[in-house]
């Protein structure tokens, strides 16, 4: 089952034949939940399918990670072809990504957002004769750019090199993750178990290369021993759970 991140937005669009009424559902299925682009790749395709009924117009672009900028404001060093495509019912559409340079780090991954904006169509007569709200469904995928210098390294090694510890944060404690690798680690959940007591970390997010990040541990006490159990998404888009010992700083 493909993984799809959908964000519903309402906006005013000029194209009269692409107006959609409230209550429509997203139709476009993305055949992956992340994109890994190795330096030196001529182009990479992201495949989609219109699994709904009726045609849709799909716009695709790459932007800086977390920026949520429209295509016209993106400075990401990628071009997507075609930038806009009509996808008929049951049909597939491949969007081709090409890197176009850019001053990206040579010793670690860079991350961007690949976005697909889907505009469902409704009959022209219906759109012309009734008041409608235009609806866009947006799919967002992480796009990881891997420089040649790390191409022979195994991204799974980043998991083994992680160090987890409990550190003071304000008036409480936090779970600190030390990622001493050139890869991003897409963590989605983490908890610690100390003396049989489990505490979930809050606001767990992706770990950046060569960085330390801390996540609050509501109600936790200090801990010099115990375990951390965390879930992350691997290169193939699968959820993987690992348990590791806590370390001391």
Last residue of a domain, one of 86, 121, 150: 150
Q: Which among 97, 118, 150 is the end of a domain?
A: 150
Residue finishing a domain among 93, 116, 150: 150
Q: Cα torsion for 165, 168, 185, 80, to the nearest 10°?
A: -170
What is the rounded average pLDDT of the residues 139-144? 94
Q: How confident is the model at residue 14 (pLDDT cuts 50, 70, 90)?
A: very low
Q: Higher model confidence: residue 209 or residue 122?
A: 209
Domain extent for 134: 6-150
| pLDDT tier, 27 (very low <50, low <70, confident <90, very high otherwise) | confident
Residue 148 pLDDT > 50, yes or no?
yes
Residue 68 within any structural domain of the chain: yes
Higher pLDDT, 21 or 169: 169
Residue 249 lies in a domain: no
Same domain membership, residue 173 and residue 68:
no
Question: Per-residue pLDDT for 73 more than 50?
Answer: yes
Q: Is residue 107 part of a domain?
A: yes
Check residue 81 and give its pLDDT. Answer: 98
Pairing of strands 135-146, 6-10: antiparallel
The answer to whether position 86 is within a domain reads: yes
Q: What's the average model confidence in pLDDT over 58-76? A: 91
Q: Model-level pTM?
A: 0.83
Tell whether the model's pLDDT for residue 129 goes beyond 60. Answer: no
Average pLDDT, the chain: 86
- Same domain for 21 and 50, yes or no, is yes
The CATH number of residue 134's host domain is 2.60.40.10
Q: Are residues 123 and 213 in the same domain?
A: no
Q: Write down the pLDDT at residue 124.
A: 56
pLDDT tens per residue across span 163-218? 999 999 998 999 999 999 999 999 999 999 999 999 999 999 999 999 999 999 99
Q: How far apart are CA 159 and CA 185, in angstroms?
A: 7
Residue 28 confidence (pLDDT) above 60: yes
Same domain for 130 and 43: yes
Q: Are residues 144 and 96 in the same domain?
A: yes
């Amino acid at each position: 089952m493909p993984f799809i991140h959908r964000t519903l937005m309402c906006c005013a669009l000029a194209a009269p034949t692409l107006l959609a009424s409230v209550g429509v559902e997203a139709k476009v299925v993305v055949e992956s939940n992340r994109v890994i682009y190795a330096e030196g790749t001529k182009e990479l395709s992201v495949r989609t399918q219109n699994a709904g009924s009726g045609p849709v117009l799909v716009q695709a672009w790459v932007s800086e990670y977390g920026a949520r900028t429209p295509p016209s404001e993106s400075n990401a060093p990628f071009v997507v072809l075609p930038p806009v495509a009509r996808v008929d019912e049951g049909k597939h559409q491949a969007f081709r990504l090409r890197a176009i340079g850019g001053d990206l780090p040579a010793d670690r991954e860079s991350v961007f957002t690949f976005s697909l904006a889907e505009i469902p169509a409704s009959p022209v007569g219906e759109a012309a004769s009734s008041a409608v709200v235009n609806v866009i469904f947006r799919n967002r995928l992480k796009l990881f750019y891997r420089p040649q210098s790390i191409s022979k390294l195994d991204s799974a090694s980043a998991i083994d090199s992680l160090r987890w510890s409990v550190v003071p944060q304000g008036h409480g404690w936090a779970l600190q993750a030390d990622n001493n690798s050139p890869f991003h680690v897409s963590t989605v959940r983490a908890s610690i178990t100390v003396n049989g007591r489990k505490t979930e970390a809050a606001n767990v997010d992706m770990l950046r290369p060569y960085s330390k990040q801390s996540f609050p541990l509501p109600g936790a006490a200090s801990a010099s021993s115990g375990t951390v159990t965390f879930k992350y998404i691997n290169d193939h888009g699968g959820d993987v759970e690992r348990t590791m010992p806590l370390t001391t700083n």
